[in-house]
Amino acid sequence: MIDQRIEIIEGDITKLAVDAIVNAANEMLLGGGGVDGAIHRVAGPQLLEECLKIGGCPTGEARLTQGYHLPARYVIHTVGPIWAGGVDNEDVMLASAYRSSLALAVQNDIHSIAFPSISTGSYGFPMERAAPIALRTVRDFLATNSTLQRVIFVCFGEAAHTLYLRFYNALHIT
């Protein structure tokens, strides 16, 4: 049975007033396009300043910053794998990006967290493969944790939302 603390919504992650939103960043933490660009635009230039001080983040790990002008208090920057056809440990690294983000949230007493679909934009990870990894990793993490109260998957667009819901419903019977 899937955890009741998991929600699947369609929308723009930069609008969510949760404790932390997760950014699909790059290893340099220098900002970029996609959800990263959107988060930096709304947060303002102080976010990049803090990211520059951190100095980078390896693939599969996560780093915490303030949210500045975002409605979310914190941003957890994680780096998903670049899709290389599925032969370069991408599944493991994607699960690690989710797990590292959740672990960092717990360390910082974060109760609500929202994830975009990490790696499924510029990094080219097929969403139909990424979504079940994301859902299972979060479900398994929540099974061992009671600090987190809400984990929201934010789907960008209707097609992504439909796909996530399909895998979410399938998790009920696995």
By the criterion CB under 6 A, which residues form the site for ligand AR6?
12-14, 24-26, 32-36, 38, 80, 116-123, 154, 156, 160
Cβ count within 10 A of residue 124: 13
> Closer CB to ligand AR6, residue 147 or residue 159?
159
> Closer CB to ligand AR6, residue 156 or residue 168?
156
Q: Can you read off the two tokens belonging to residue 143? A: 């099974």
> Closer CB to ligand AR6, residue 33 or residue 147?
33
Q: How far is the CB of 125 from ligand AR6 (least distance, A)?
A: 7
Q: How far is the CB of 161 from ligand AR6 (least distance, A)?
A: 11
Q: How far is the CB of 169 from ligand AR6 (least distance, A)?
A: 20
Residues forming the active site:
36
